[in-house]
Amino acid sequence: MNEILKEYDVKMQKTVEVVLSDFASVRAGRANAAVLDKITVDYYGSPTPINQVAAISSPDPRSLLIKPWDSSILKAIEKAIQTSDLGINPQNDGTSIRLGFPQLTEERRKELTKQVKKYAENGKVAIRNIRRDAMDKLKAKQKKSEITEDDCKEFEKELQDLTDKRCKELDDLSAKKEKELMAV
């Protein structure tokens, strides 16, 4: 039973890691290349992440500089950034794109906090879905008499403890990110 529990723990941990990467894409006032991770650009007919078609640097704490390796894609990168929910207008100088990160307003901080809460809630839903899948498999095994009712109850308790632990971890990470957003 322990190997099955470990398998579901790994799935739940991966969910936490996905939520963490979502949190990284929420800008907290400082220039961070991770905010571009979810933005894709049409490159020769396929959607490609910006960091795979350009060099991204941060010349100062409040700006990012995007230098595409193929200058023909400059307009496509600019358009992708404008249509994203980043909330920043790119400045195109013909060879590179500069993104200036303004100081966050109180309203924008609250918006970003809501976004962080949504990411955390989606993560908790995914974790509960993993628990549900595990329970369905367990009930099927019990029905086939592969495991006893007592074993099923014990596994159910351990699985619930694991679920609670991962959900609490997401709550803590969410609170930390919200605090970071409100402090900037």
The answer on 96 and 109 residing in a single domain is no
For the chain, the average pLDDT equals 86
Q: Which domain holds residue 17?
A: 2-24+105-183
> Which of 13, 38, 31, 4 has the alpha carbon at shortest distance from 133?
4
Q: How far is CA 134 from CA 1, 15, 47, 161, in A?
A: 11, 15, 35, 13
pLDDT tens digit sequence for 90-125: 888 888 999 887 777 788 788 888 889 999 999 999
CATH number assigned to the domain comprising residue 94: 3.30.1360.40
Percent of the chain with pLDDT over 70: 97
Find the distance separating the first CA and the last CA of the chain, reported in whole Å: 46
> Which of 180, 181, 160, 139 has the alpha carbon at shortest distance from 12?
160
The answer on 161 and 126 residing in a single domain is yes
Percent of the chain with pLDDT over 90: 26
The answer on 133 and 95 residing in a single domain is no
* Cβ 166 vs Cβ 12: under 8 Å: yes
pLDDT tens digit sequence for 66-81: 999 988 888 888 888 8
Check residue 29 and give its pLDDT: 62
Check residue 27 and give its pLDDT: 65
Angstrom distance (rounded) from CA 55 to CA 69: 7
The answer on 80 and 41 residing in a single domain is yes
Check residue 121 and give its pLDDT: 94
SS3 assignment, position 118: helix
Task: Point out the domain boundary residue: 47, 73, 100.
Answer: 100
* Residue 87 predicted with pLDDT over 80: no
Domains held by the chain: number: 2
pLDDT band, very low/low/confident/very high, at 14 (cuts 50, 70, 90): very high
SS3 assignment, position 147: coil
